[in-house]
Amino acid sequence: MRNFVEAIARKRDGRELEATDLRSFVQGAADASLPDEQLAAMLMAICIRGATAAETQALVEAMRDSGTCWKLGERYPQAVDKHSTGGVGDSVSLVFAPLVAACGVPVVMMAGAGLGHTQGTLDKLGAIPGFRAAGSRREAIERLEACGASFAAQSVEIAPADKKLYLLRDTTATVPSLALIVASIMSKKLAVGARRLVLDVKCGSGAFCKTPEAARELATALVGVARRASVEVRAAVTVMDQPLGPNLGCASEVRAALAVLRGGGDRRLRELTVVLAAEALELGGRDAAGATAELERRLADGSAAARFEATVRAHGGDPDERRLARPKRSRCPHRTTGT
């Protein structure tokens, strides 16, 4: 496609792309009308030259529209989504969703699998026997009606262009591009369609963003896209210089989440989850002190743990902790045990 070659050249030379150029790029990825070498060339040009806010917004919206938009915010206007950029031992989402739902706020979470050296929320939920994330709007609604929380997985419906472009990014060393990271995250969030979003952007040695400055830059870009799409958003930059909690490994991290939901667990994991969950409640109009107090009550009175069990059942899983796999060997700083 000659016109697209010209678009690649414009970006290569540092000129701003039109929205039509970016729609052609995304459509070419979604329907294979553009060859991989041209897609890869554009990815590299964006990675090297960067993208303006207008280019990033157009890219996000084109990727969102490459598939089906669930528009769950129209049916559940109070619903909130959450995203973490990932970190070691980060099982916050497993606590956040049932905890916020127990406070009467629906949670619609587009979850992801592992990225780099970390396991994603879908990997951890996959440790629960029978657990199946929603892959369609109908399934998401069924889960919301049953328990007030839905974990969704990217499917052929949601931002299919992102799947193709992510594979190419991984093989062309263009994963670190800020614009491409933002587009990958936000296209899926906007396609699901919650009107409220909480962002946890990690920084530190165990995070994708190594410095607070890089994390703030990413957070600012994500917030900007959300607001331009009329999504109410809160963002926190949190430290990931050490694992968030003492448990690593998918089944072990589910146990860590259960311990917090039952009113105990690791202090840092609990505190961060409550901070992020309070942001979700505040987006719905509750004051900060009241939101925190309610969250603490839900952890103490057993309703958060009960909502976790209901959420697992609604997703086809078995909430019996005894069914979780156990490691053949476990390590701690002072001892090693085997089973």
Q: Which CATH number does the domain housing residue 279 bear?
A: 3.40.1030.10
Per annotation, catalytic residue among 188, 189, 196, 270 = 188
What 8-state DSSP symbol labels residue 292?
Answer: H
13 with 112, same domain: the answer is no
Are 47 and 131 members of one domain? no
Catalytic member of 49, 82, 169, 307: 169
Q: Please indicate, yes or no, if residue 142 is contained in any of the structural domains.
A: yes
Active-site pick, 21, 90, 162, 266: 162
Is residue 148 pLDDT above 90, yes or no? yes
CB of 202 within 8 A of CB of 215? yes
**pLDDT reported for residue 75:** 96
Predicted pLDDT of residue 263? 94
Same domain (yes/no): 56, 205: no
Number of domains in the chain: 2
Q: Would you call 169 a catalytic residue per the annotation?
A: yes
Tell me what the mean pLDDT of segment 93-118 comes to.
88
What is the length of the chain? 339
**What is the pLDDT confidence band of residue 284, given thresholds at 50, 70 and 90?**
very high
Q: What pLDDT is recorded for position 337? A: 43
Q: Grade residue 46 by pLDDT with cuts at 50, 70 and 90.
A: very high
Q: State the average pLDDT over residues 313-331.
A: 89
Among 123-127, 220-224, 292-296, the range scoring the smallest mean pLDDT is 123-127
**Residue 330 covered by a domain:** no
Whether 315 is a known active-site residue: answer: no
The CATH number of the domain holding residue 36 is 1.20.970.10
Could you tell me if 59 and 80 lie in one domain?
Answer: no
81 assigned to active site: no
Residues 162 and 59 in one domain: no
Global confidence as pTM: 0.91
Residue 125 included in any domain? yes
Q: Which of 24, 66, 84, 184 is catalytic?
A: 184
Helix (H) or strand (E) holding 220: helix 212-228
Residue 73 has pLDDT above 90, yes or no: yes
Is 16 among the domain residues? yes
Q: Quote the domain boundaries for residue 7.
A: 2-64
Average pLDDT for 212-218: 95
Q: Kindly name the residue from 11, 49, 82, 83 that is annotated as catalytic.
A: 83
**Segments of the chain assigned E as strands:** 80-84, 107-111, 149-153, 196-203, 232-239, 329-332, 335-338
Domain end point (choices 15, 34, 64)? 64
| Confidence at residue 229, expressed as pLDDT on a 0 to 100 scale | 96
CA atoms of 197 and 73, how far apart (whole Å): 11
The yes-or-no answer on residue 117 being catalytic is: no
Long-range contacts of 4-10 (CB under 8 A, 24+ apart): 4/28, 4/34, 4/38, 4/42, 5/38, 7/42, 8/38, 8/41, 8/42, 8/45
CB atoms within 10 A of CB 131: 21
